[in-house]
A = this chain, B = another copy of it.
Amino acid sequence: MDIASLRKNHPDHWKKATAIRSLTLDAVAAANSGHSGMPMGMADVATVLFEKHLKFDASAPRWADRDRFILSAGHGSMLIYSLLHLTGYEDVTLDQIKNFRQWGAITAGHPEYGHVSGVETTTGPLGQGIANAVGFAMAEEIQRARFGKKIVDHHTYVIAGDGCLMEGISQEAIGLAGRHQLGKLILFWDNNDITIDGKVSLSDCTNQVQRFKASGWHVQEIDGHDPEQIDAAIAKAKTTKKPSMIACKTHIALGHAAQDTSKGHGALTDAEQLKAAKEVYGAPIGAFQVEDDVKAAWEAIGSKGAEARAEWEARFASISERKQAEFNRAYALDVPKKLGGVVRALKRQVAEGKPTVATRKSSEMALEVINPVMPETVGGSADLTGSNNTKTGDLGVFDVDNRKGRYIYWGIREHGMAAAMNGMTLHGGMRPYGGTFFCFTDYARPAMRLASLMKIPTVFVMTHDSIGVGEDGPTHQPVEHLAICRATPNSLTFRPADTAETAEAWELALSSKETPSTLVLTRQNLPTVRTEYKQKNLTAQGAYVLADAEAGKRQVILIATGSEVSLAMQARETLEAQGIGTRVVSMPCMELFAEQDEAYRRKVLPAGPVRVGVEAAVRDGGWDRWLLGERGREAKAAFVGMDSFGASAPAGVLFEKFGITAENVVAKAKELLG
């Protein structure tokens, strides 16, 4: 549909959509950077969606039963900022729009979760929003099953561009949504034929309609500028039991000189062309001007959901107080009171039984006691359930006919899993955790980074954490992945040494409200190193003294994590037998140790003794700070670990061949002592 017909046949719609286009042009021009064309192309779809379908109340951005709106094509951030401003979200003032992309403004270049109240997830890295949306839709299904349709009953809408659909993660998400018949997930494809390098046809010939149908989606094709077609398509999409894709044929940068070109994707800042576009629109020419009646019409849209919300609140008040409390607790990310108790009970049990088990098994033991008292957890694995030990007896399997199921078979889709888990966390009311091999954090990494950036506590369960993998060889043996996790801001990397530390790590991961956690667990069996029951969560301090030298005789400090703690303990025995006083520090979480006050850090790592770090990974993983001292010049130090990729052989052989042995630790310590 062309602009002339739109103006003539849908004047009210046109004016509202124009307000989005004008604000976009003005904000990008003011910032002298940004992406004008996408919001201009999708303004009609967004206007109809917000006006006719989206369940929301601008005065209550966090209303739990709102529809979720996700802009996977995050570079078009002015689309969402315009919508939120126009509909009256309090935080998105005109000043914020004017300060688009400036220091201190909440209107960041790409939509950032936690900055703007109406932004459901951080997008920009393409394709993520689609996979997030799958998680949102799964969370909705699970909670609707749990709390009833009266309390949870909303849609998830996502706008995706050609870039999102070319990224591989989109296929993982599409496959998941189709398999699970996520009927309340509705995806708009901004089908504008343009990428940064030129026409989509430069790099792709995929028939997206056929592709989505191949994974069980309901697909419609419409003119993305025709409000009637848009309305009808959304209405239809809401009735199908399949996830819906609406292919919206649009013109990028509609009405601008750069329409339908790559240039239109970027920042359209030419003043003359901007004016000309506004003239074509019949919009006010002045920067940031929106006619009063148009703003009023948008605000009416922003408040039309108030009634539905009030009704929802009444319904919510009508459910049992216990259910209300449970719902509120989960959404507040508060842990149940029983969590500490079950973790302590497990610690007491293993201090007595002293099991020799892999920490992946320890993790399962922890989950077996945690999942029953924490109904908001949802477990899963990227097709390694038996290896990741993520499935406990009570969870049930999430499926089309069992929406209450709390275990998800994610398939061989580490990236999609991680991003969908982020979506679940963001949805609220859920504590997802999911597993794969630690080496395949590589596949999940873009989503793991976003969890850190968004400050959300998704939990990644990464087993098979070193050359301890053995015969599967170097493609499956992480050596640099601890370094990767630890270098990422706002993340907690736990590498527990035995069941007690693993249980403590779980308690911390599930108590975190703003930081994602990665649990790094062994394939191979490990002895219990904490042989005495400690009520306190020692892992919370990041590192602690596990065994010490006699007072005044301390010459060596061995610092180790995970599977190497027991090896350090063996080395200590040898050293002590030779009269060399040796402390062993277990360091399950470097990041938490770094957060302790200096007095505690000094107590654990006093200056004086030589230090040997032991970890079956590269030294780059944050070790020098603890070995050399925080300001340097503190201690003579050595490191026993990996400085190459691993190899394919039985694990025991590999530890020998790569020199990660108690003997080598002893030798290094003695070498340092001179």
Q: Is residue A474 within 8 Å, beta carbon to beta carbon, of the partner chain?
A: yes
Interface membership of chain A positions 627-643, coded 1 if the CB is closer than 8 angstroms to chain B and 0 otherwise? 11101111111000001
Q: Is residue A471 within 8 Å, beta carbon to beta carbon, of the partner chain?
A: yes
User: Nearest B residue to A128 by beta-carbon distance?
Assistant: B475
CA distance A154 to B414 in the complex (A): 34
Question: Which segment, of A209-217, A346-354, A497-505, faces chain B?
Answer: A209-217
Interface membership of chain A positions 152-174, coded 1 if the CB is closer than 8 angstroms to chain B and 0 otherwise? 00000000001110111111100
Q: Contact at A476–B110, with CB atoms within 8 Å?
A: yes
Q: Is residue A450 within 8 Å, beta carbon to beta carbon, of the partner chain?
A: yes
CA distance A201 to B409 in the complex (A): 10
Question: Which segment, of A48-56, A229-237, A646-654, faces chain B?
Answer: A646-654
Q: Contact at B196–A384, with CB atoms within 8 Å?
A: yes
Q: Is residue A272 within 8 Å, beta carbon to beta carbon, of the partner chain?
A: no
Q: Is residue A202 within 8 Å, beta carbon to beta carbon, of the partner chain?
A: yes
Question: Which segment, of A277-285, A301-309, A615-623, faces chain B?
Answer: A615-623
A331 CB to nearest chain B CB (Å): 25
- Which of B172, B484, B636, B643 has a CB less than 8 Å from the CB of A484? B484
Q: Contact at B112–A474, with CB atoms within 8 Å?
A: yes
In the assembly, how many copies of this chain are there? 2
Q: Is residue A312 within 8 Å, beta carbon to beta carbon, of the partner chain?
A: no
A413 CB to nearest chain B CB (Å): 6
A104 CB to nearest chain B CB (Å): 8
Q: Contact at A624–B624, with CB atoms within 8 Å?
A: yes
Question: Which segment, of A6-14, A437-445, A580-588, faces chain B?
Answer: A437-445
CA distance A657 to B102 in the complex (A): 12
Q: Contact at B416–A168, with CB atoms within 8 Å?
A: yes
CA distance A2 to B650 in the complex (A): 37
A300 CB to nearest chain B CB (Å): 31
Q: Contact at A167–B487, with CB atoms within 8 Å?
A: no
Q: Contact at A636–B631, with CB atoms within 8 Å?
A: yes
Q: Contact at B631–A632, with CB atoms within 8 Å?
A: no
Contact (A210, B214) CB under 8 Å given A621-B487, A627-B632: yes
- Which of B127, B628, B653 has a CB less than 8 Å from the CB of A633? B628
Contact (A109, B648) CB under 8 Å given A168-B416, A213-B210, A383-B163: yes
Residues of B within 8 A of A445 (CB): 442, 445
Residues of B within 8 A of A385 (CB): 196-197
Contact (A74, B203) CB under 8 Å given A170-B171, A195-B383: no
Residues of B within 8 A of A636 (CB): 631-633
Interface membership of chain A positions 436-464, coded 1 if the CB is closer than 8 angstroms to chain B and 0 otherwise? 00011011011001101100000000000
CA distance A102 to B651 in the complex (A): 10
Q: Contact at B179–A381, with CB atoms within 8 Å?
A: no
- Which of B216, B446, B483, B632 has a CB less than 8 Å from the CB of A442? B446
CA distance A241 to B650 in the complex (A): 46
Q: Contact at A103–B622, with CB atoms within 8 Å?
A: no
Residues of B within 8 A of A629 (CB): 628, 632
Q: Is residue A207 within 8 Å, beta carbon to beta carbon, of the partner chain?
A: yes
Question: Which segment, of A118-126, A319-327, A555-563, faces chain B?
Answer: A118-126
Count of chain A residues with Cβ under 8 Å from any Cβ of B?
117
Residues of B within 8 A of A473 (CB): 101, 108-110, 112, 124
- Which of B169, B211, B635 has a CB less than 8 Å from the CB of A211? B211
Contact (A168, B178) CB under 8 Å given A207-B214, A636-B633: no
Q: Is residue A33 within 8 Å, beta carbon to beta carbon, of the partner chain?
A: yes
Q: Contact at B475–A483, with CB atoms within 8 Å?
A: no
Q: Is residue A490 within 8 Å, beta carbon to beta carbon, of the partner chain?
A: yes
CA distance A645 to B453 in the complex (A): 7
CA distance A387 to B413 in the complex (A): 30
Residues of B within 8 A of A631 (CB): 636-637
Interface membership of chain A positions 340-367, coded 1 if the CB is closer than 8 angstroms to chain B and 0 otherwise? 0000000000000000000000000000
User: Nearest B residue to A173 by beta-carbon distance?
Assistant: B168
Q: Contact at A649–B167, with CB atoms within 8 Å?
A: no
CA distance A162 to B657 in the complex (A): 35
Q: Contact at B163–A167, with CB atoms within 8 Å?
A: no
Q: Is residue A134 within 8 Å, beta carbon to beta carbon, of the partner chain?
A: no
Q: Is residue A479 within 8 Å, beta carbon to beta carbon, of the partner chain?
A: yes
| Contact residues of A between 93 and 147, Cβ < 8 Å to B | 101-105, 108-110, 112, 122-127
| Contact residues of A between 172 and 218, Cβ < 8 Å to B | 172, 175-176, 178-179, 195-198, 201-211, 213-216
CA distance A110 to B213 in the complex (A): 35
Q: Contact at A479–B472, with CB atoms within 8 Å?
A: no
Q: Contact at A211–B215, with CB atoms within 8 Å?
A: yes
A360 CB to nearest chain B CB (Å): 15
- A residues near B (Cβ < 8 Å) are 31, 33-34, 74, 101-105, 108-110, 112, 122-127, 162-164, 166-172, 175-176, 178-179, 195-198, 201-211, 213-216, 381, 383-387, 409-413, 415-416, 439-440, 442-443, 445-446, 449-450, 452-453, 470-476, 479-480, 483-484, 486-490, 618, 620-622, 624-625, 627-629, 631-637, 643-645, 647-650, 653-654, 657
A108-B474, A203-B411 known, 4 other contacts, Cβ within 8 Å: A31-B471, A103-B653, A110-B476, A484-B484
6 tightest Cβ-Cβ pairs between the two chains A and B: A168-B168, A203-B411, A624-B624, A124-B475, A628-B632, A108-B648
20 A-B contact pairs sorted by A residue (CB < 8 Å): A34-B471, A101-B473, A103-B657, A108-B474, A112-B648, A126-B412, A166-B413, A168-B169, A168-B415, A171-B171, A175-B205, A179-B203, A198-B409, A210-B214, A450-B475, A453-B645, A483-B483, A489-B644, A624-B624, A633-B635
